[in-house]
Every structure is written in structure tokens, then in C-alpha cells.
Structure 1
Amino acid sequence: MRRRPLLTFALCLPLTRLAGAQASEPEADDAPAGLPQYKVSAAALQAAVGQRFPLRYPVPGLLNLDVQLPTLHLLPALNRLGAEMAVEAAGPALNRSHQGTLDVEFALRYEPTDRTVRAHQLRLKRLQFPTLQPGVVALLNTYAPALAEGALLEVVLHRMRPQDLTLPDGLGMQPGSITVTPEGLTIGFVPKPLS
């Protein structure tokens, strides 16, 4: 039966606006005409990630790595987000505390079980500590991938409310693509698979 996809598309044509403060009309270049979209601002993403920080990662008997609130960067050309975090290393193995930075990039995915947009496919760009000896930095870099994953992998960047999905769900649609734009994210809706 081909009626359901055609009916869904026909019903979506006049519904270029979803209910809710974050929904908006599709832009000409963003998506096929008439398909609903849901937008998330860069400020909303930053606020969501801020709920998880600061974090502490102990290296038993040696030091603690304290990770501060990341600053998110939108990378539309890569369809990814970047995050830069201040990191403080201190403990018995170091004479004093040292300030550094951790830079990562990550993609996004939608998790339907809890209606969230999450960070995944993390890429470590660099971990720098300008005041530490190169040998110590090399040792810390062995912990850097685990530090980056612990800080941001699968972090919830946005949670859609049930009412944000009521209309699309009723039309047989679900969140599909997630596109990083200069303003934030645009979540496109696609027809649900026929069962």
C-alpha cells in the first residue's frame, strides 16, 4: 500500500511549523519543502551541556584531572560540534597544579527511547598543558581518550518534550536527520518505516 506515505506527505505540506517555542519554518536550503523541522539554538545546547560539569577524573596515586564547563563550537561544514574544556591537573605526582585544555569534536545522534539528542563519534583533537614537561604530557595523553569519552560521549545535548513530537508522531513521522547550522541544530522529520 502506497497510501500512507502519500497521505503523510500531503498532510505535512501545510504543517511547516511545529508547535513549541523552538520549532520554526523550514528555510529554502535546509529541507524539502513542507517537511517539518525542529530547531535547537546554540545557547540551549550550551546550557544543556553545562548541567554535567565540572567533572573530576582521578588517576589513583598520581593526580586528579578536573574538567571544567566546555565551550561548544558549531562546525556546520563538518556537521559536527566542537568542545574546548579547561583542564586542571594536580596531585602527588606534580609539584603544583597545572592548567591545560582539552579539545574534541563529535557528531550527534537521536535516541528515540528518551527523545534526546546525544554526542557520539567523539574525536580527540588535543590535550595541552603548556607548563608541564613533555614526558608528563605524553603520560597524560594516554588518558586523554578516556577523559574525552567520559566527559562528552553520549552526553545529552537536548531533550525533546512529548508535545514536540505529538503532531509529527500523529502524522507517522519521526526525527531523522540532525544538521548543524551556524545558529544551532535543525532536526528534520522523516516518515516512520511501515511495519
Structure 2
Amino acid sequence: MLHRRQFLTNATRSAWALGGGVLLAGRSARAQPSYTVPLAQLQDMVAEKFPRSVPVQGLFNLSLQAPRLRLLPEVNRLGAAMAVDAAGPALRRSHAGSFEVEFALRYEASDRSLRAHQIRLGRLDFPSLKPAVTDLLNAYGPVLAEQSLREVTLHQLRPQDTAVFDGLGLQPGPITVTAQGLTVAFVPKQP
């Protein structure tokens, strides 16, 4: 048992060295190894996916700018605030607005990515539109939020980030939102 504990401790420390400081090393065999992604890194990756255009049934298009992410550790989710422009045949001119969403995260093994899912829309706000039009946009809001953010990749783990853990029979498991960023725990691989 002592040899296994020492092996796991040494392997975890090696993973720390290989990961360039983003892998958190456990101090004992009971500590769960993990990988942490800081908010700034998440922000950079998500910014690459924007701007995005979301058409709404031929009536108008929403042009979404890169979101400003915020960590919500108390509910284990991320929040995003986005600037949005609405323009098209149903709107006589372009209207600037904003909307906020919250979402959970999941790990996608096929490409080693952390992705947004379980998206909840706050409210679309367009100060220059009539309230009835804004209410109509908010009726479409959940669908728009899903179309604009569904499965957006927030981070992608590189093979070298997980190589030591792969060798130990571990795989990414639960994702926890902390005050520092996202922490991905490594758990035993399922047979």
C-alpha cells in the first residue's frame, strides 16, 4: 500500500511539473488530482468564437459580441454578459442591446473540451425598442440563448495536459467553478 501511495504522490507531482503549473498536485493518495483553468484563459478562448450571428425566422438577425464571463462558484456555473445588435426587415434600423446568461459546464471526451450547457437566459434588453418588441424578443430568448451558446467550447485540454493521468487510469470528471476559475477533477476511468 505504501508503494502505491508513493507512486501516486510522485505521479501527481510529475503531472504538476509537466502541466506548466496548471495541474494541482495532491499531497497524499487521497487527494484528488485536478486541472485548473483560470478565468482569463476561459475569456480568451470564448472570445475566439465571437462575433456570432443568430437569425430569427427571417425577421431580423442578432449579432452577438464576445461575452464577458464571470465565475459563479456559489451555484457552480458561469455567467456571461453580451452586447448584441438586432437588425433586419422587421426592425427599421439597428438596435443595440445586451443580454445575460448563466450556464453549467460539461466535459466532452471526443475532443477533450469543456463546453457550455444547461443555458439559462437572464433577459434581453434593448433600450431603443418599444417594450412590446423587447417582450417578443424575450419570448424567443431561451431559443436564442441556446442557438448562440450551445456547446460553445470554453477550454480544450491538450493531450500533454492529461498524459500522466491517462497512464494512471484516470479521466476528467466533475467540473467545479471556483473563485479562481474552473477545476476539473480526475476520477478513475470507467471500464
TM-score (normalizing by structure 2) = 0.88
Picking from 9, 20, 34, the partner of 1:13 is 9
Distance 1:75 1:60 in 2: 33
Alignment-mate amino acid for residue 176 of structure 1: G
Q: Is the 8 A contact 2:71 2:78 kept in 1?
A: yes
TM-score (normalizing by structure 1) = 0.86
Higher strand share: 2
1:80 aligns with 2:57: no
Residue pairs, 1:11-160, within 5 angstroms = 11-17=7-13, 18=15, 19-26=18-25, 33-160=30-157
1:170 alignment counterpart: 167
Deviates more, 1:77-86 or 1:144-153: 144-153
C-alpha displacement of 1:168: 0.5
Percent identical pairs in the alignment equals 54
Distance 2:7 2:99 in 1: 47
Residues 89/32 of structure 1: CA separation in 2 closer, same or farther (3 Å cut) = farther
Distance 2:84 2:4 in 1: 49
Q: Is the 8 A contact 1:68 1:86 kept in 2?
A: yes
Higher helix share: 2
Distance 2:21 2:130 in 1: 47
Residues 136/128 of structure 1: CA separation in 2 closer, same or farther (3 Å cut) = same
Distance 2:24 2:146 in 1: 35
Residues 14/191 of structure 1: CA separation in 2 closer, same or farther (3 Å cut) = same
C-alpha displacement of 1:57: 1.7
C-alpha displacement of 1:7: 8.1
C-alpha displacement of 1:152: 1.1
Work out the number of aligned pairs and report it.
188
Aligned-partner SS, 2:82: strand
Question: Which ranges of structure 1 fall in alignment gaps of 5 or more residues?
Answer: none
Alignment root-mean-square deviation, CA: 2.4
C-alpha displacement of 1:15: 3.6
Distance 1:186 1:154 in 2: 18
Distance 1:186 1:9 in 2: 23
Alignment-mate amino acid for residue 103 of structure 1: E
Alignment-mate amino acid for residue 48 of structure 2: Q
Deviates more, 1:61-70 or 1:81-90: 61-70
